[in-house]
């Protein structure tokens, strides 16, 4: 189906939507409006078929067998690694570690690089807008090493506070952990600028790109960040597969995170020699079908063109902001549309987001309600939760209009 995407002369959402089997569902005559791609995206038929083909025609373990099935499985799996390398413009496939998800990738850095390099009294910095997966590993690392945690706070518009950035830079931090795009506020952070400034202060920079890689071009060489993590299931790929990019010189110096099969060169009773990159960090049988599916998802997005994906979503989010402010008592969170990613969070009067999500579900609209694994950010805005509508390549203005109509209906139900 990536071939079909490549044939689109314009960003034809109807044609794209037709390539996603799940989006063909209707309930009570109402088309499914899926607005939760920030949690997980839907999968095009090409990805589903590629994974089915693996299990039906060449299911075997990778990197081990010398028979035909195993060699084909290995070739397909490793092709996906190279596709990811090109997708993010890494220098080498050796810098692409395939993990279970972005959480696993960030924990790999915290446990392997962190415990080898962070010492008591070192300053570890993360931001107030981070997903829990880019907070908790650093808290655990600080508890283990005695490092000191510092935080960059968020202003009322959803931007990182410049005075806080300047303050933590003066502390000569050891590490900065920062999201490229907030999964709640939609804030697009200036990763290249932050990386340059924190490198000058002597810090290693770890970027959570889970909300960036599916939605806009990501060039790890342009960013110059030391580690970049993202996950397959938010970018048209399957669950259970993610990516850690790391600069080769850092990865070479790091000890393994997990020990076992496939990450070794030689094992003897008195010691072990580890495999070269990237396999040193890929212990055990991997998610082979997931790796194959990720490669096809990368093909699909590459065929669409990530610049075009970003432009489509920028225009759509701008339109959504214009329409949503028409709803009385609705409050939007985050910066203006030009600096906004694909996720829009809001509250509606005193309706609890969970109740609002249930009402929207009756209209066959899927949104996320809750703290979005970003409780410190909820504390910052003194709210328990928000409703989040997150857009993707298969959404259009009609979806926005359907959402706005349903929100007006919710106000009527709650007699506002």
- Provide the annotated active-site residues: 373
Q: Which residue has the tokens 């005559």?
A: 29
Find out whether the peptide bond into 278 is cis, omega within 30 degrees of 0. yes
Cα–Cα distance measured from residue 28 to residue 26, given in angstroms and rounded to the nearest whole number = 7
Q: CA of 193: how far to CAs of 184, 189, 199, 350, 378, in Å?
A: 22, 9, 10, 39, 26
The number of helices, as runs of H, and strands, as runs of E, in the chain is 16, 17
* Residue 365: other Cβ atoms inside 10 A: 23
Structure tokens, 289: 């079908």
Residues 6+ apart with CB under 8 A from 322: none
- 3-state helix/strand/coil string of 222-286: HHCCCEEEEEHHHCCCCCCCEEEEECHHHHHHCCCCCCCCCCEEEEECCEEEECCCCHHHCCCCC
Residues 6+ apart with CB under 8 A from 183: 38, 131, 210, 211, 343, 372, 373, 374
* Residue 398: other Cβ atoms inside 10 A: 12
Cα–Cα distance measured from residue 293 to residue 297, given in angstroms and rounded to the nearest whole number = 6
Edge-to-edge strands, sheet with 242-246? 96-99, 242-246, 227-231, 204-208, 175-179, 123-127, 148-152
How many angstroms from the chain centroid is the CA of residue 273?
33
Structure tokens, 408: 């007006």
Residues 6+ apart with CB under 8 A from 415: none
Cα–Cα distance measured from residue 42 to residue 394, given in angstroms and rounded to the nearest whole number = 9
Give the residues across from 330 on adjacent strands.
Answer: 348
Structure tokens, 378: 């909820």
Cα–Cα distance measured from residue 217 to residue 342, given in angstroms and rounded to the nearest whole number = 14
User: Of the candidates 248, 212, 198, 252, which has an alpha carbon nearest to the alpha carbon of residue 90?
Assistant: 248
User: Of the candidates 204, 303, 236, which has an alpha carbon nearest to the alpha carbon of residue 45?
Assistant: 236
Cα–Cα distance measured from residue 147 to residue 36, given in angstroms and rounded to the nearest whole number = 36
């Amino acid at each position: 189906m990536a071939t079909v995407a490549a044939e689109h002369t314009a960003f034809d959402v109807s044609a794209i939507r037709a390539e996603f089997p799940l989006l063909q569902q209707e309930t009570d005559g109402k088309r499914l409006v899926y607005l939760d791609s920030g949690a997980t995206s839907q999968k095009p038929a090409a990805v589903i078929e590629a994974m089915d083909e693996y299990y039906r025609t060449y299911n075997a373990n990778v990197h081990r067998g010398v028979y035909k099935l195993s060699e084909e499985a290995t070739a397909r799996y490793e092709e996906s690694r190279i596709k990811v390398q090109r997708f993010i413009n890494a220098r080498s496939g050796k810098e692409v570690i395939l993990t279970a998800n972005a959480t696993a990738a960030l924990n790999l850095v915290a446990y392997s690089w962190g415990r080898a390099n962070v010492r008591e009294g070192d300053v570890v910095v993360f931001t107030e807008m981070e997903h829990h997966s880019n907070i908790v590993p650093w808290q655990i690392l600080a508890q283990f090493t005695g490092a000191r945690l510092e935080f960059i706070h968020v202003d009322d518009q959803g931007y990182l506070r410049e005075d806080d950035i300047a303050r933590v830079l003066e502390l000569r931090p050891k590490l900065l952990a920062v999201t490229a795009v907030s999964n709640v506020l939609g804030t697009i952070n200036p990763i290249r600028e932050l990386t340059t400034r924190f490198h000058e202060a002597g810090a290693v920079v770890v970027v959570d790109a889970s909300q960036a890689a599916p939605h806009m071009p990501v060039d790890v060489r342009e960013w110059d960040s030391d580690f970049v993590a993202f996950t397959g299931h938010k970018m048209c790929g399957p669950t259970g597969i993610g990516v850690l990019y790391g600069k080769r010189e850092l990865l070479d110096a790091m000890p393994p995170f997990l020990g076992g099969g496939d990450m070794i060169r030689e094992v003897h009773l008195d010691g072990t020699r580890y495999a070269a990159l990237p396999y040193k960090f890929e212990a055990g049988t991997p998610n082979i079908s997931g790796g194959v599916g990720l490669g096809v998802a990368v093909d699909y997005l590459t065929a669409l063109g990530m610049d075009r994906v970003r432009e489509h979503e920028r225009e759509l989010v701008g339109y959504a902001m214009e329409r949503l402010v028409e709803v009385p008592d609705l409050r939007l969170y985050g910066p203006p549309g030009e600096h906004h990613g694909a996720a829009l969070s809001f509250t509606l009067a005193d309706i609890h987001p969970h109740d609002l999500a249930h009402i929207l579900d009756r209209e066959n609209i899927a949104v996320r309600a809750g703290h979005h694994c970003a409780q410190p950010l909820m504390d910052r805005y003194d709210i328990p939760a928000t409703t989040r509508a997150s857009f993707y390549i298969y959404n259009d203005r009609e979806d926005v209009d359907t959402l706005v109509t349903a929100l007006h209906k919710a106000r009527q139900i709650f007699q506002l």
